[in-house]
Amino acid sequence: MIYINLTPHAIKLNDGTVFEPSGIVARVSADLQEAEFLGGVQLYRQTFGDVEGLPEVIPGTMYIVSALVFAAVDRGDCVAPATGSKETVRNEAGHIVSVPGFVTK
């Protein structure tokens, strides 16, 4: 399996494997619509626009995308870093250092 990183950042797995940025960044626009005002706070509904920078499906290839792009697409060839895992490694400032793997559909 080939993994292509479509984020602007290197993605490091806990085992030391690093996926460098490919130079192509998949992005999605998001639009916010006012939903309601609840307890003094404005709430919004988010809808996604078109995803840009996501190549066509290539057998044997997985695309590493951001969580936002991952949420906006319904494709089995896209994964996102598993940043919500209890095994995610963070530095003393709380920044993610590495993840155990990827989230899939």
Tens-level pLDDT at each residue, the chain (105 residues): 999 999 999 999 999 999 999 999 999 998 999 999 999 999 999 998 999 999 999 999 999 999 999 999 999 999 999 999 999 999 999 999 999 999 999
How much is the pTM? 0.87
DSSP structure class, residue 32: E
Query: Which two three-digit tokens encode residue 27?
Result: 């992005």
Question: What is the phi/psi pair of residue 46, to 5°?
Answer: -105, 130
Smallest CA-to-CA distance from 6 within 72, 90, 75, 62 is with 62
What's the number of domains the chain is made of?
1
In terms of residue numbers, what domain contains 90?
Answer: 2-103
